[in-house]
Amino acid sequence: MSNLTLDHVVKRYSSVTVVKDVSLAIDEGEFVSLLGPSGCGKTTILRMVAGLIDPSGGTIRIGDRDVTRLPPNKRNIGLVFQSYALFPHLTVHENVAFGLRRKGQSGAALDARVGEALAMVRLAGYGERYPRQLSGGQQQRVAMARAIAPRPNVLLFDEPLSNLDAKLRDEMQIELKRLQRELGITTLFVTHDQAEALSLSDRVCVMQDGVIQQFAEPETIYRRPATSFVASFIGKPNRLAGTIRGGRVALHEQLELRSESDLSGDGRPVEVFIRQEAISLAATGDESVNRIAGTVALRSFSGPQVKYVVRIGSDQELVVEAPSSGPAGDLAPGQAVMLEVHPQDVLVLSRETAP
């Protein structure tokens, strides 16, 4: 297996730059997700690594090899597409064997390698079936088996779970993580689904407009976002305008909150982020927490959770999640409430960094 390095990689289409000076180092055996909204450049990066498109500038290395200008078949990479791209007229066995045959393998050695790959994705005994005889999840496993059979140095995934229903997607996330851990293959995974990226990855690279906003472990991305874009894109945050006042952050004239963020610079305009799940509707009596008085404006029931929109000022609102079976599960619009939030859950970022 090998590491993967992108050094000042750029991609332009005429006058439009879609990937802007991206440098990225992925360790051997690491699972990294490129995460961001549509058009942020993540799929373009994956296709440059795969050799499907050429970069306009910069260098791509797999291990010690410069592969920037090599064709895809010379890079020893495995690629799983969003659509799986299985050959409908070939059996499962022949689909998996396709890449091996192109590398010159045949006979018993090829059959053994195909059988090994199918066993890894828990499809032993499915070799004689055709793709049309398989479920969506099984087809996705065949695509994975085809990608790993040649024993690539790097494995690339282009939103491979997006076509599956929610339950199957959850199951395949577990399968994918299990397989990657067993094989130890350096993996680059493209997705716009933040839960998918956070649950699967060793590190997550969050992108916006062709630029890396933050590259870190999932918990760091979630708990300590580096920019306003990351803070607003990850999770379900409330985003409010505030001002630094006397070592606290003021949301309006009557409400000042404590925070563990940088609160220097009196009068500095800031963005305040408070995640919905970090807000409590149950009084704890803890004097170290922030207390916020408000009025329920809207209630929305969604099974195990109930979501409230709470008005906390003349023009500001907080969205709060609570267990529907808990003591705060049946609050009514118009009801006065007292919210609590810990200072470490009040994230304050300079307003200049906001998109």
Enter the tokens of residue 261.
Answer: 């963020």
Closest of 28, 80, 108, 18 to residue 55, by C-alpha: 18
- The string of pLDDT tens digits covering residues 243-285 is 999 999 999 888 999 999 999 999 999 999 999 989 998 666 6
Neighbouring C-beta atoms of residue 277, cutoff 10 Å: 14
Specify whether the CB–CB gap between 66 and 215 falls below 8 A.
no
pLDDT given at position 355: 43
Domain boundaries, the chain: 4-229, 236-277+288-353
User: Distance (Å, rounded) from C-alpha 146 to C-alpha 80?
Assistant: 8
179: three-class secondary structure by DSSP:
helix
Identify whether the C-beta of residue 273 lies closer than 8 Å to the C-beta of residue 259: no
Secondary structure of 130-147 in HEC code, one letter for each residue: CHHHCCHHHHHHHHHHHH
pTM: 0.86
Rg (CA), the chain: 25
189, 154 contact by CB (below 8 A):
no
Residues 6+ apart with CB under 8 A from 36: 42, 192, 206, 207, 208, 213, 233
Sequence letter at residue 326:
G
Burial of 63 (0-12, 13-18, 19+ CB in 10 A): middle
Interatomic CA distance for residues 333 and 237, integer angstroms: 22
Q: What is the pLDDT of residue 1?
A: 53
Cα-based distances in Å from 177 to 32, 47, 133, 183: 12, 22, 25, 10
Backbone phi and psi for residue 207, each to the nearest 5 degrees, phi listed first:
-120, 150
Give the per-residue pLDDT at 106: 87
Query: Residue 252: what pLDDT?
Result: 85
**Helix (H), strand (E) at residue 50:** helix 42-50
Residues in the chain, total:
355
CATH code 3.40.50.300 for 4-229: yes
**Bridge partners for 186 per DSSP:** 154
What pLDDT does 288 receive? Answer: 85
First to last CA, the chain: 38
Q: Which pLDDT tens digit goes with each residue over 39-53?
A: 999 999 999 999 999
Q: Are 58 and 10 in contact (CB under 8 A)?
A: yes
- Rounding to the nearest 10 degrees, give the CA dihedral for residues 71, 77, 83, 88: 80
Q: How buried is residue 242: exposed, middle or buried, by Cβ count under 10 Å (0-12/13-18/19+)? A: buried
Which segments of the chain have a pLDDT < 50?
353-355
